């Protein structure tokens, strides 16, 4: 059975983008795979997080993973900071990855923005830690949104260079699983920008804990252009906001952009947004309700995470110990 690994940062409340690009696929992949899903709090602090908020967001993220249907008795759900192997292997990878490789990472450029000198060094080496997250488990398949494609290519470069430098065939090749018509959900305020949980504007995203009225309001206010929806996919060219709203509907109904346009092409955005908001409310509010129910019982969520960390460490520790042996660390 192939081993899957993926992670999500507790850097805010998970968004519709996280759900359609990643989390929903995490749930679907449980059948037929061994899944290891991690709340990556070490990654989250690459941008400053208020400590109290971080703790709350971390538990809420874990509760959301359970609420979307991840079964912690069959698979593993845990916190990254609870398994030391991640940081240990990341240090080795800091010494394997080349500066030139990291300099090409577009996510660092996007997140550091113009004030690059002031970005944390953790943000710069973030992809090395991500490679360690996956390779500490010898995982071979990684379900992610499209924004993570470049990081996974880098993880494969790191694995290959490690294997080459130490003359071994130790770390496997990783295959990204980038699925569905909403692998990159865009901001509701700007169709050229990715929807992000840490975007300063709450109106730019749908949070998985938004209530029905909030969802409807955000969709109603979403930026659009004055033209009605086209009846064919060619009509979405140069219309990023229209494409985004069609992609969201397609993903939620397991359809294609073409299917959605066949059904709704010709509609003005006023009408289309009503249908889209109803669909979002139908699909998302049960997740919010289940997350809330789980959060009313923190000891249960924490016990799931403790058990997950124990089982995760049992897989990762021997793999990282072997990597340390290969590097030549002396065991005394
Ligand atoms: N807009 C998106 N569309 C599709 N997939 C997305 N993902 C994130 N945003 C979108 C996918 O969600 C998973 C978890 O992401 P993450 O928390 O590890 O980091 P991120 O990609 O940086 O996500 P955010 O929401 O933008 O977080 P912040 O604002 O903290 O940086 C990943 O698989 C990602 O591809």
Q: Give 196 Cα–ligand 1 centroid separation in angstroms.
A: 6
DSSP-derived letter for residue 237 is T
Q: What is the residue with the minimal CA distance to atom 18 of ligand 1?
A: 8
Q: Do residues 286 and 301 share a domain? A: no
DSSP-derived letter for residue 118 is G
CA dihedral of 286, 287, 289, 294, whole degrees rounded to 10:
140
- 3-class SS of residue 6: strand
Assess whether the C-beta atom of 198 lies below 6 angstroms from ligand 1.
yes
**C-alpha 46, offset from chain centre:** 15
Q: Do residues 206 and 302 share a domain? A: no
Q: Do residues 87 and 144 share a domain? A: yes
Q: Is residue 305 part of a domain?
A: yes
What angle, 0 to 180 degrees and rounded to 10, lies between the N-to-C axes of helices 298-327 and 269-295?
90
Q: Give 130 Cα–ligand 1 centroid separation in angstroms.
A: 13
Assess whether the C-beta atom of 145 lies below 6 angstroms from ligand 1.
yes
Assess whether the C-beta atom of 58 lies below 6 angstroms from ligand 1.
no
CA dihedral of 127, 149, 86, 120, whole degrees rounded to 10:
30
Compute the C-alpha angle 162/163/164, nearest 5°.
90
Q: Do residues 255 and 224 share a domain? A: yes
Q: What is the residue with the minimal CA distance to atom 33 of ligand 1?
A: 144
Q: What is the residue with the minimal CA distance to atom 10 of ligand 1?
A: 17
Q: What is the residue with the minimal CA distance to atom 16 of ligand 1?
A: 8
CATH number at residue 222: 1.10.240.10
CA distances to 48, 96, 163, 276 from 16, rounded to whole Å, are: 23, 35, 38, 13
- CA-194 nearest atom, ligand 1: 1
Q: Do residues 82 and 159 share a domain? A: yes
Q: Is residue 195 part of a domain?
A: no
Burial code (b: 16+ CB inside 10 Å, e: under 16) for 83-106 equals bebbebbbebbbebbeeebbeebe
CB 128 within 8 A of CB 94: yes
Q: Residue 177, Cβ neighbours under 10 Å: how many?
A: 17
Structurally, the chain folds into a number of domains equal to 2
Q: Is residue 119 part of a domain?
A: yes
Q: Is residue 189 part of a domain?
A: no
* Annotated active-site residue in 52, 74, 111, 267: 111
* Annotated active-site residue in 114, 194, 274, 322: 194
Q: Is residue 285 part of a domain?
A: yes
Q: Do residues 166 and 46 share a domain? A: yes
Q: Is residue 190 part of a domain?
A: no
- CA-199 nearest atom, ligand 1: 29
Assess whether the C-beta atom of 11 lies below 6 angstroms from ligand 1.
yes
Q: Give 83 Cα–ligand 1 centroid separation in angstroms.
A: 22
CATH number at residue 154: 3.40.50.620
Instruction: Check residue 9 and give its pLDDT.
Output: 98
CA distances to 79, 81, 320 from 84, rounded to whole Å, are: 10, 7, 10
Q: Give 51 Cα–ligand 1 centroid separation in angstroms.
A: 21
Q: Do residues 213 and 110 share a domain? A: no
Q: Do residues 269 and 304 share a domain? A: no
Per-residue pLDDT tens listing for the chain (332 residues): 899 999 999 999 999 999 999 999 999 999 999 999 999 999 999 999 999 999 999 999 999 999 999 999 999 999 999 999 999 999 999 999 999 999 999 999 999 988 899 999 999 999 999 999 999 999 999 999 999 999 999 999 999 999 999 999 999 999 999 988 888 999 999 999 999 999 999 999 999 999 999 999 999 999 999 999 999 999 999 999 999 999 999 999 999 999 999 999 999 999 999 999 999 999 999 999 999 999 999 999 999 999 999 999 999 999 999 999 999 999 99
**C-alpha 117, offset from chain centre:** 26
Q: Is residue 139 part of a domain?
A: yes
Q: Do residues 246 and 314 share a domain? A: no
Assess whether the C-beta atom of 64 lies below 6 angstroms from ligand 1.
no
Alpha helix (H) residue ranges in the chain: 16-18, 24-28, 41-44, 51-67, 85-94, 99-103, 106-112, 121-135, 149-165, 212-221, 240-252, 257-264, 269-295, 298-327
- Determine the structural domain holding residue 7 and report its residue range: 3-183+297-327
How many angstroms separate the CA atoms of 260 and 148, rounded? 27
CA dihedral of 41, 42, 48, 49, whole degrees rounded to 10:
20
Q: Do residues 63 and 164 share a domain? A: yes
Q: Give 328 Cα–ligand 1 centroid separation in angstroms.
A: 36
Give catalytic status of residue 111 as yes or no.
yes
- The pTM of the full predicted model, rounded to 2 decimals, is 0.96
Q: Do residues 92 and 143 share a domain? A: yes
Q: Is residue 188 part of a domain?
A: no
Q: Do residues 74 and 42 share a domain? A: yes
């Amino acid at each position: 059975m192939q081993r899957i690994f993926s992670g999500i940062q507790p850097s805010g409340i998970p968004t519709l983008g996280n759900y359609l690009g990643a989390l929903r696929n995490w749930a679907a992949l449980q059948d037929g795979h061994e899944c290891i899903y991690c709340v990556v709090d070490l990654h989250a602090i690459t941008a400053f997080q208020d400590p109290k908020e971080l703790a709350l967001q971390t538990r809420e993220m874990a509760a959301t993973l359970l609420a979307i249907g991840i079964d912690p008795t069959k698979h593993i759900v845990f916190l990254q900071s609870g398994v030391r192997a991640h940081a240990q292997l990341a240090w080795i990878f800091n010494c394997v990855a080349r500066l030139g490789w990291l300099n090409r990472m577009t996510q660092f450029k996007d997140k550091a923005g113009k004030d690059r000198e002031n970005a944390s060094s953790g943000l710069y080496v973030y992809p090395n830690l991500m490679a360690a997250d996956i390779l500490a488990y010898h995982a071979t398949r990684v379900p992610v949104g499209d924004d993570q494609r470049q990081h996974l290519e880098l993880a494969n470069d790191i694995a290959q260079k490690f294997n080459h430098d130490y003359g071994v065939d130790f770390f496997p090749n990783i295959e990204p699983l980038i699925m569905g018509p909403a692998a990159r959900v865009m901001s509701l305020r700007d169709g050229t920008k990715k929807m992000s949980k840490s975007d300063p504007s709450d109106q730019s995203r749908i949070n998985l804990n938004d209530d029905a009225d909030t969802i409807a309001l955000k969709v109603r206010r979403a930026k659009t252009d004055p033209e009605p929806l086209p009846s064919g996919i060619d009509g979405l060219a140069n219309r990023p906001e229209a494409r985004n709203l069609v992609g969201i509907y397609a993903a939620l109904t397991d359809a294609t952009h073409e299917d959605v346009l066949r059904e709704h092409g010709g509609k003005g955005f006023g009408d289309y947004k009503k249908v889209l908001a109803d669909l979002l409310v139908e699909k998302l509010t049960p997740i919010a309700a289940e997350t809330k129910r789980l959060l009313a019982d923190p000891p249960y969520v924490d016990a799931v995470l403790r058990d997950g960390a124990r089982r995760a460490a049992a897989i990762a520790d021997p793999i990282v110990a072997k990597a340390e042996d290969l590097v030549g660390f002396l065991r005394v």
